[in-house]
Amino acid sequence: MTHTVLVTGVSRYIGARVAGALAADPKISRVIGVDTTPPLSLLTGEGVPLGRTEFVRVDLRSPDIAEVIEAADIDVVVHMSLVSAPVRGGGRVPMKEHNVIGTMQLLAACQRSAAVRRVVVRSTSAVYGSSPTDPAVFTEDVEPVEAPHSGYGKDATEVEGYVRGFARRRPDVTVSLLRFVNLMGPGVDSPITRYLRQPVVPTVFGFDPRLQFIHEDDAVEVLRRMASEDHPGTFNVTGDGVMLLSQCVRRAGGVSVPVPSPGFRILSAVARRAGLVEFSPEQLRLLSHGRAVDGGRLAAELGRRPGYDTAAAFEDFLRSRQAAGNLPLRLVDGFADLITAR
């Protein structure tokens, strides 16, 4: 049977890639992408090709989304419009409205629709929070020790609550909730990739957090499978393995500058004002305590592990950019050359 798929957040990179992948699937009859701004490929012809995706400009916070779902007879909804950081010049309030109220409107429309049979929601592993009293590796069933009380993590926790409520009220709809770790890859532009791209990386003194990445291609493949098959449940989505922040910085050729945690807070506030890097308090917690999740349940469900593990995803991200110098490494290598030449 053919499907009509609605993709929210289509103007952002990963949303556009998923829409493009779904549009390339002959079993899917229509792909309708919605977002508040038109995608780059429509504006300039550059960016990710969307194929036969039809774009509709809808603000999710408005009830217009219900009309789109009704008019197009949507049967699969892929909700990927959660934003992890306030847009420049915006603030926390519009971000929260967009994330939480937007999801509520979308789910309200889905609940009304007789045609919707499958809902896939992109959430984040930030719902587990990040604290020194966490277990080292979160499985889907572990409740966070400290639920995130600000920012993206809190939005996602609330969004997940509404998604669970929807799943209870519409047990006939297959609901998949995906908790993604940080996306990584040549096309990804996020607070964490911008942070790791800096030649000098401020880190929190005395902490070397564990980080995990999922490669963009694997993320697209997971979302494509979820949109075209029934996989109900909550799943962590991560590349295998972990990397320490120190490893990331060294492999990127940057120099890390440990700053004691109160100083780090001030520094990040200054950077935010200056529009350099966007860092929310829960990202600061992540940079102190780190977090790892277990991707085993998803691998068992899909019968496939991500093609890139965490380290490979990071390496692919590094390949796409000019390598920095790694000054300490060059000094040691120079010294080694001196000794061996002796």
| Shortest distance in whole angstroms from residue 133 CB to another protein | 5
Dig out the tokens for 6 from the structure.
């609605």
Report the residue number, 136 or 269, with the smaller CB distance to another protein.
Answer: 136
Phi, psi dihedrals of residue 131, rounded to the nearest 5°: -150, 160
User: Shortest gap between Cβ of 190 and another protein (angstroms)?
Assistant: 21
102 vs 239, beta carbon nearer another protein: 239
Using alpha carbons, list the distances in angstroms from residue 145 to 149, 227, 238, 290.
12, 31, 21, 14
Rounded to whole angstroms, the Cα distance separating 11 from 146 reads 33
Cα(78)–Cα(116) distance, rounded to whole angstroms? 11
Least distance from another protein to the Cβ atom of residue 341, Å: 12
We find the least distance from the C-beta atom of residue 67 to another protein, in angstroms, to be 46
Give contact residues for another protein (rule: CB under 8 A). Answer: 132-137, 139, 142, 204-208, 210, 241-244, 246-251, 260-261, 289-290, 292, 326, 328-329, 332-333, 335-336, 339-340
Integer Cα distance of 278 and 268 in angstroms: 8
For residues 154 and 210, which CB has a smaller minimum distance to another protein in the complex? 210
| Residue 314 beta carbon to another protein: minimum distance, rounded to whole angstroms | 10
Nearer to another protein by Cβ, of 191 and 296: the residue is: 296
Q: Which residues of 104-123 are buried (b: 16+ CB within 10 A; e: fewer)?
A: bbbbebbeebeebbbbbbbb
Q: Name residue 120's beta-bridge partners.
A: 78, 176
Q: Of 90 and 328, which has the nearer Cβ to another protein?
A: 328
Cβ pair 41, 48 in contact under 8 A: yes
Considering the complex, state which of residue 180 and residue 314 has its C-beta at the smaller distance from another protein.
314
Q: Which residues pair with 153 in a beta bridge?
A: none
Least distance CB 149 / another protein (angstroms): 18
